Structures are given as C-alpha cells and as structure tokens.
Copies of this chain bind each other. A is one copy, B any other.
Amino acid sequence: MSLTIVGSMAFDAIETPFAKTDKTIGGSCTYCAYAASQFTREINQVSIVGYDFPKNELDDLNNLGVNTDGVEIVPDKKSFFWSGKYHLDMNTRDTLITDLNVLADFNPVLPESYQRTEYLLLGNLAPAVQKAVIQQLKTRPKLIVLDTMNFWMEVALNDLLEVLGMIDVLVVNDSEARQLTGEYSIVKAAKKILTMGPKQLIIKKGEHGALLFHGEEIFFAPALPLEEVFDPTGAGDAFAGGFMGYLAKTNDLSYENMKTAIIMGSVTASFCVEKLGTERLKTITTHDVAVRAKQFLALTDFVLA
C-alpha cells in the first residue's frame, strides 16, 4: 500500500560522548523513509530543502523506491539545520542551533499522485500544516499517524487539538503525553488522550521502550539493550517509519498486527542508533531486520506454568 511521509529533511551537526559530526543528513522525513523502506517501496516523500541539499541524497532515496516529487527544492535558500549535543545518559540533549531556513515557509503541496495515499505519516510540524496536508487528500487514508512535540502544545494547542480529531494514531513521548493531559500517570494520560480523537496512542520512552494503547489494551515493546548507543538522533523517527512501513506492507490494522508493527519500529530504531545519522539505516538488509526481530521476541519471551 502507498505510504506518504511528511516532515523535515535537514543537515544535522551532532555531538555524542562517542561521536561527532559537523554535517550529516538528517530530518524526520529522512529517517522515517529509510526505516519504512525496509518494508515497502511505495513511499511518497513530502518535504522541503534548500539549494545546498545534495542531489545524491535524493537519488539514494529514489533508489529505495521513495518518490521525492513532493520534496520542494528552494533555489535561493538554505536547508533546515539542527545542531545538538547529547549528555552521557544519551536520553537528554541540548539543542545548540536551530536554523529553520526553508522550513520556516514550509507549506507542503501534495502532488496529484499522493492524494489518494492509503497510509499517511505526519511528522512533527506545526499542527496547522499537518491539518493542511490532510485537507489536500482526495480520499481518507486507511491510517493517519501523527507525531508532535511539547513546543506545539505551548504555542498552538487549539490547532493541535483540532488535528487530533482528524487522525488515528498519535505518537508522543512520555513527557509530551503528560504535558498534553496534565496527568502524571502515563496510564491516566493515555486514557485522556484516547478521548481526544486518536483511536490508538503510542508513547515512546526512549531507551525504556514504547507503549501502545489500544482501547483497554496495553502493549509494551522493549528497547533492545545495546552494548553501545552511538547516536540516538532520529531513533524516534526510525521507530515511526518502521511502524508505518510495516503496516503499509501488511495492510492489516488489527491490534495483533499493530503490536508486530511496533516491534518492527523498535527494530529499525535499534539499528538507527548504532551509527551516526542515517548511516546504519542505509545499510540494513531484510535479513538484518528478520534476525533482530527474533532477538526482540526472545527478549520478552517467557512461559507460564
């Protein structure tokens, strides 16, 4: 099934306790697409870049079956640039620089061929922009998944609440779920969010895994304990991309299959952090994914007498 991904493409400068780069390719859309391409090759990318964005990076995506017709190239502006430094715990980071550049004027226009997409992943953008994308669709997708962040809860809460009524699955981290609801308990926060529009909620907890709330059901996907986390940048996007890619491939929206999809998102996220930027995601194979998915199965497998 066709999957459309909307989000940023960027240059990142990253410093972790174990690695450093002044310039690598990043952006939510980029990570999502590489992760999703492990499962499906019918991907439509919607983003914006400047004159400085390397053509070969778009070629790399095209070669994986990613249609980049929806990636606007602005000839007289620079690409979005983000710079961050991770603390030793790798769970917290300081943003050093955010140069929006082209992203400041991002008004995504869906090419005709994208407007009947069956799966839609709306990356973290202004809620009004996310809404504008939904309004360009000719048919309602089978599944709309939305990522957001605390910033939009502070500056555009009403827009966010409106767009929450138009989607199926919300993806946030634990602190964002708390902020959105004013509830400290994750379970209470989840129950509240499920009254705001989304039918399912995914709460990401970084190195502590992710939770899927689906009606009264709760599924927990652990993160794989890794000997070395090289660079956590993009792990959340790789998670969302893997999740969506697997659903678009299998085209099965049952709770059972969503659980497996969450695991596939955890699998792609676990690869993502092993190298700097998108480096590792670019090289994983179907076999790598299958082997790691089995590791996830073994990680929580137990028997009751």
Contact = CB atoms under 8 A, between A and B. Distances in A.
Contacts of A218: 225, 299
Interface string A99-123: 0000000000000000000000000
A152 interface: no
Please tell me how many copies of the chain the complex holds. 2
A297 B302 contact: yes
A61 interface: no
Indicate the size class of the contact surface on chain A. 35 or more
A217 B186 CA distance: 30
A259 to B, nearest CB: 4
Contacts of A259: 301-303
A211 B208 CA distance: 11
A280 interface: no
A88 interface: yes
Contacts of A294: 304
B220 A225 contact: yes
A70 interface: no
A205 interface: yes
Nearest to A297: B304
Interface stretch (A74-82, A137-145, A226-234): A226-234
6 A-B pairs with the lowest CB-CB distances in the bound complex, closest first: A300-B300, A208-B208, A259-B302, A187-B227, A220-B222, A220-B299
14 contacts: A17-B184, A186-B225, A187-B226, A209-B222, A218-B225, A219-B299, A219-B300, A220-B225, A220-B300, A259-B302, A259-B303, A260-B302, A260-B305, A297-B304
Given A17-B184, A208-B208, A260-B305, 6 more contacts: A185-B226, A185-B228, A218-B225, A259-B302, A260-B302, A297-B304
